[in-house]
Amino acid sequence: MVNVFIQAIAIKTHFLYNQAMSSLQKYYKQSATYKIASGILKELEKFLDTLGKMSLNGIEVIKCILRWQIDIKELIEQCSRFGVSSLPITLSIVGMTSIIVASQVALEMVKQGGGNFVGLLMTILIIREVGVIMSGFAIISMIGSSLASEIATMRVTEQIDAIEVLKVNPIRYLFVPRVLSGFIMMPPVVLIASAVGVITGAITANLTSGLGYRAYFDSAWLGIYMKDLGVSMLKAFCFGGVIALISCSCGYYASGGAKGVGEATTKAVVWSFVAIVILDMFFAMAFFF
């Protein structure tokens, strides 16, 4: 009799425990903490999935380039789009950034007796970081978003499905010219933008602090090395390919109509920003630490 009573208590206790845990789990799933955590995990899962797909796309693009499966006419068109069309906004952003920095740095350095180092500081800053980073941001905003929205529109309107039905490799047709144009055109764009940044820095330093052009450029010439220029061009080469690859991949995997196009474009811009900042950190650690 006692054993039966104990078993009944145990069963009842187990039932109440399960009921309590079920209620607790229900309330927990409705909490803000659970929603935030689950949202972060879902976004992380999507990011890792897309990152894997981007890597596979990148490998396929490299294979097509090594086999010379390239549409030259399309490549020239994309190079014009990537380089020529983006040049005005890129020069504007890099030039304005140089003006802002020089206007705040030159006067204070001249006051402290460091006028002979203004050109050195501005040139190192522009060649190593400002030129390539701000050019990357400009190209992401103008070209990357355009690539993502274009390919996403093709996806949601089933144009890519039609390409696949015709037995045409969409990676070769859509990705290769765009990614290759990023590799080719980003370095000259960065080189021109950096030159404009150095020149606008000299003009701004002269206007704000009275620093002579000769002192500025003598300092700049003594402070810049071929290593700095080489690393900047290598960064630009990598950034151009990565921006194009991320933008094309985000557009390629879009879904859900017009809303999906907008989401793909936003994702391409955000991930491209994050990617080039992370790559820039690795370059800094590899070459300048």
Q: What pLDDT sits at residue 245?
A: 92
Average pLDDT over residues 115-128: 86
Q: How far apart are the first and last CA of the chain?
A: 79
Candidate from 51-60, 122-131, 185-194 with smallest mean pLDDT: 51-60
Instruction: Judge whether residue 27 has pLDDT over 70.
Output: no
Q: Encode 228-264: b = buried (16+ Cβ within 10 Å), e = exposed.
A: beebbbebbbbbbbbbbbbbbbbbbbbeeeeebbebb
Average pLDDT over residues 235-260: 89
Say which residue, 33 or 94, is predicted with more confidence: 94
Q: What pLDDT sits at residue 233?
A: 92
Encode pLDDT of 173-191 as tens digits: 888 999 999 999 999 999 9
Q: What pLDDT sits at residue 7?
A: 55
Q: What pLDDT sits at residue 21?
A: 56
Q: Encode 74-98: b = buried (16+ Cβ within 10 Å), e = exposed.
A: bbeebbebbbeebbebbbebbbebb
Instruction: Judge whether residue 35 has pLDDT over 90.
Output: no
Encode pLDDT of 256-271 as tens digits: 788 888 888 998 898 8
Instruction: Judge whether residue 36 has pLDDT over 70.
Output: yes
Q: How many CA atoms within 13 Å lie on the side-chain side of 127?
A: 20
Q: The pTM is what?
A: 0.82
Compute the distance between CA of residue 194 and CA of residue 181 in angstroms, rounded to an integer. Answer: 20
Encode pLDDT of 124-169 as tens digits: 889 988 889 999 999 998 899 999 999 999 888 888 888 888 888 8
Q: What pLDDT sits at residue 187?
A: 93
CB neighbours (10 Å) of residue 15? Answer: 10
Any idea where the domains of the chain sit in the sequence? Answer: 79-287
Candidate from 3-7, 229-233, 283-287 with smallest mean pLDDT: 3-7
Q: What pLDDT sits at residue 227?
A: 86
Instruction: Judge whether residue 235 has pLDDT over 90.
Output: yes
Q: What pLDDT sits at residue 18?
A: 57
Q: Encode 131-143: b = buried (16+ Cβ within 10 Å), e = exposed.
A: bbbbbbbbbbbbb
